[in-house]
Amino acid sequence: MVNGHSRVQAAYDNLRGEQVIEGESASIPLGPSGRLRDAILVKDHVGLIHLLARLPDERERFDVPLGRLLQATWVETEGNEGRAVWLDVACLDARLIRTFLSLIGEMLDRADASGRPCIDELTEVLESWRAALARARFAMDRNRVIGIFGELTILERLARRDPQSALSAWQGRNGARHDFVRTNALEVKTFGGSGSPAVTIHGESQLDPPMNAQLHLVAFRITDGSSGESVDELAERIAAHGIPREELIRILGDDAPGIEGRRRRFEIEETRLYAVEDDFPGIRASHMDSSALRGIFGLNYQLSLDSCPGELDPSQLDRVLEEL
């Protein structure tokens, strides 16, 4: 039999291409030979990937605390084989999907070898992976918070001049291509570590300037530091300029950090500022034939800032904001 990691990867690849309408799902059985429906990989209508592990008929349900990145619930189904109870484990963050698939692959390999129900192997694998999941959650939470910190840093500087204009310019959270847009546009990036700076570019159009306008990119190297500033403190300064905290929370929505994230203190160690011109590297829809991008979605990639021309002195950031 094909090993568990190969089976779950093949199932995931097939499900990615499925178009699922609201109220329905697509599924592929994964279980060991002779009991394929012991475990099922499922894609729901919003694109989330689930693992269903069947609970043996004589068994009682049990608690499975997983936290925010994976969600576990019990579901019941009625079908040709009668009533069945399943543990439904859903991956809530697309950035964790590779970890999730590896976890499922390990469960399948163990079930193939032991002959035990997949759900028993799943609970043991989840326990052994708990520390790795916690580390992944911490890293992703931190990245999310420093991204917010970078955007709020720019919002605060704009709000000093005109709070209402600053708020209306903050468009990235509303689905706009760039973080701040008025006459011109500004994209805000953050990065950490001590090595060569690299930032994540989202989509094929994020480095395309608005029509007949300029685009600048500002990137902050952000480090943890007790002498730095927290998101809470930054929000208070923004509120003092006339933008209520409630408005920030509304705009951030589900991305609004929890208490721990809001109180973590950060320092801006380095600022990189660039004018994004035609020779700026990256995947850009304006430089490509539309056929080259057909069928592509969810595109994210890393861009090394050391490879980018058009760097400006960080002291020019005030001018860029003034001309935004």
Q: Is residue 135 part of a domain?
A: no
**Cβ pair 107, 125 in contact under 8 A:** yes
158 vs 165: CA distance, rounded Å? 8
DSSP single-letter state for residue 59? P
Chain-centroid distance of CA 214 in Å reads: 28
Positive or negative, the CA dihedral 175, 199, 183, 323 is positive
* Structural domain ending residue among the three candidates 116, 151, 178: 116
Q: Tell me which residues of the chain have a pLDDT lower than 70.
A: 1, 65-69, 130-140, 254-262
Q: Is residue 121 part of a domain?
A: no
Tally Cβ neighbours within 10 Å of residue 56. Answer: 11
> What type of residue is 58?
E
Q: Are 105 and 64 part of one and the same domain?
A: yes
pLDDT per residue over 74-91, tens digit each? 999 887 777 899 999 998
Instruction: Give the structural domain span for 248.
Output: 141-322
Q: Are 178 and 297 part of one and the same domain?
A: yes
Task: State the number of CA atoms in the 13 A half-sphere of 33 facing the CB.
Answer: 5
Q: Are 72 and 161 part of one and the same domain?
A: no
Q: Is residue 126 part of a domain?
A: no
Q: In what order do the strands lie in the sheet with 39-44?
A: 25-29, 39-44, 49-55, 82-91, 70-79
Residue 165, SS3 per DSSP? helix
Domains contained in the chain, number:
2
Q: Are 308 and 247 part of one and the same domain?
A: yes
Q: Is residue 131 part of a domain?
A: no
Given this model, what pLDDT does residue 67 score?
A: 58
Given this model, what pLDDT does residue 289 score?
A: 81
Q: Are 154 and 290 part of one and the same domain?
A: yes
> What type of residue is 252?
L
pLDDT per residue over 229-257, tens digit each? 988 888 889 999 999 888 887 887 766 66
Given this model, what pLDDT does residue 258 score?
A: 59
